Amino acid sequence: MTLRVLIAVLMLGLVAGCCHKQSTPPPVPTAATSSVRTEWLSHAWRFEKDGWTFLHVEGEPRARGFQHGSLLAREIADALHTQRVVWEYESGMTWEWLIAQTTPFLLPRMDAENLAEIDGLVEGLASANVTTSREEMVAFNAYIEIAGYWWPAKKKTLGSESPIRSKESCSSFIATGSMTADGEIVLGHNTMTGYDDGFVNVIIDIVPSTGHRILMQTCPGWIHSGSDFFITDAGLVGSETTIGGFNGFDEQGIPEFCRMRRATQDADSIGQWCEIMKHGNNGGYANAWLLGDTKTGEIARLELGLKHVALERTHDGYYTGSNVAENIKILRLETDVQETDIRRSGVARRVRWEQLMEEYRGRITVDLARQFEADHYDPYLHRIIQNGRVLCDHSDRDSLVDPPFDPGGTIDGKVVDSKMAKAMTFSARWGSACGTPFDARAFLHDHPQFKWMAGILKSRTAHGWANFTAGQRQ
């Protein structure tokens, strides 16, 4: 080899090394020793109850992540597989492409504690022989905001004019003061989503080394809630419903899933919770948040658009969520929703909430909240029916939704009042808020247009309501 060639080779190696150093993300922490892992796992547990998986984790961020990844490895692997299938079918792009495209703006904007918990998740999964990466778990945690909010704009840059249907998910209310039977807070929420990737049947009890204890519904592998129903030992309760027809996303903002987790763990009050959510808002997963402080009886509704934000607070009244923005600026300038078209699910459910709040004024309890979340009255048709317009959504039974018989709807119900929240307890029902089962095999036989879901669409059996309390073991 000549001296000139040797110098050239050395220079290429130097350049390659520099490029690698610049593009490689911070490494996952060194693997814990066996004794440390055993110690971590000795403080964590899981059990199944009425369709739910209860998971308790505690300690430092990396320890919590390891406990989560190790104990829910099977469920996380299944959720990752399902999310990949859904993404690649609905977008036409590979899962690897999504991770590569979103990592550059998601990863640098994550706070150190959330990132450490993600790293612990990766390590816990590896201990159970499930291979993933920091980048994949970040994208998975951010899936709602990148698939529903970042992707529509990105798709246009690829030359596609095909629109992406906006998601309308969840029905919720919160009431206090003269609205409730005892004058204290009552909160109810159900999750509306596709049956293919609606795997939010985990109730996680988090005892962090710093901050507040959290009891919330979540998905295997998520460090936030996503379905968004939570209580904390600061006395806070919360839920959300998406703002329907919303457009907007800022890659320079802080991921929504990071802000939600930080707000829920760190906030002592409604005001602090809202400030954390507003700081660095990226517009992803734009929601109307219904919040309550059981210490004071105050409730609030935070509507978090991208350009506009609205916060309402009261000690006597109620707020509801049905995917229609209440703030006029958000409604007119950031959504395409026509709030008087009662043929739309969100509008019909908005009307129904007003009817229920007026009918049961002064009498609302958690028992009534269970009934509300399972309600089947359609104010457009003026009758009781299982379709896609009622609070307990059954789009899979509706020929008029778009697309017809869309396999999705209400997949759960959760309720809590002040007394329960102070005991770190809430009541939940998995499957649907009304208890109607779903048979995936029969559905695909009757609706073969959805055959692409074979293998990921799962049946949902009927379950009753069950109470879950922080710290319980069975």
Best CA proximity match to 251, nearest among 111, 138, 103, 113? 103
Q: The tokens of 109 are what?
A: 């904007």
pLDDT digits (tens, 9 = 90+) for 340-355: 999 999 999 999 999 9
Task: Indicate which CATH number applies to the domain containing 364.
Answer: 3.60.60.20
pLDDT of residue 26: 45
Q: State mean pLDDT over 5-22.
A: 34
Residue 275 scores a pLDDT above 50: yes
Instruction: Categorise residue 297: left if φ over 0, alpha if ψ from -120 to 50, beta otherwise.
Output: left
Residue 349 resides in a domain: yes
pLDDT digits (tens, 9 = 90+) for 24-48: 444 455 567 889 999 999 999 999 9
Q: Dihedral through CA 217, CA 294, CA 208, CA 75, nearest 10?
A: -10
pLDDT of residue 30: 58
Q: Evaluate whether 409 touches 195 at the Cβ level (below 8 Å).
A: yes
Q: CA angle 232-233-235, nearest 5°? A: 80
Q: The tokens of 38 are what?
A: 């055993």
Residue partners of 472: CB distance under 8 A and separation at least 6: 54, 205
59-73, 165-179, 342-356, 418-432: lowest mean pLDDT where?
Answer: 165-179
Residue 449 resides in a domain: yes
What is d(CA 474, CA 468) in angstroms, rounded to the nearest whole number? 9
Q: State mean pLDDT over 153-165.
A: 86
Residue 81 scores a pLDDT above 90: yes
Residue partners of 265: CB distance under 8 A and separation at least 6: 206, 208, 211, 212, 214, 232
Residue 343 resides in a domain: yes
pLDDT of residue 3: 37
pLDDT grade for 60, boundaries at 50, 70 and 90: very high
Q: State mean pLDDT over 167-196.
A: 96
Identify the DSSP state of 311. E
Residue 362 resides in a domain: yes
Q: Rounded to the nearest 10 degrees, what angle do helices 95-106 and 134-141 cross at? A: 90
Per the prediction, the chain carries an average pLDDT of 93
Q: State mean pLDDT over 398-415.
A: 96
Q: State mean pLDDT over 432-453.
A: 98
Q: State mean pLDDT over 243-267.
A: 97
Q: State mean pLDDT over 87-101.
A: 98
Domain that holds residue 363: 171-207+284-468
Residue 143 resides in a domain: no
pLDDT digits (tens, 9 = 90+) for 407-429: 999 999 999 999 999 999 999 99
Q: State mean pLDDT over 352-367.
A: 98
Q: State mean pLDDT over 241-270.
A: 97
Residue 66 resides in a domain: no
Residue 418 resides in a domain: yes
Q: State mean pLDDT over 238-260.
A: 97
Q: What is the pTM of this model?
A: 0.93
pLDDT of residue 163: 76
Task: Count how many domains the chain has.
Answer: 1
- The percentage of the chain sitting over the pLDDT mark of 70, rounded to a whole number, equals 93
pLDDT of residue 33: 86
Around Cβ 463, how many Cβ atoms within 10 Å? 19
pLDDT digits (tens, 9 = 90+) for 319-331: 999 999 999 999 9
Residue 252 resides in a domain: no
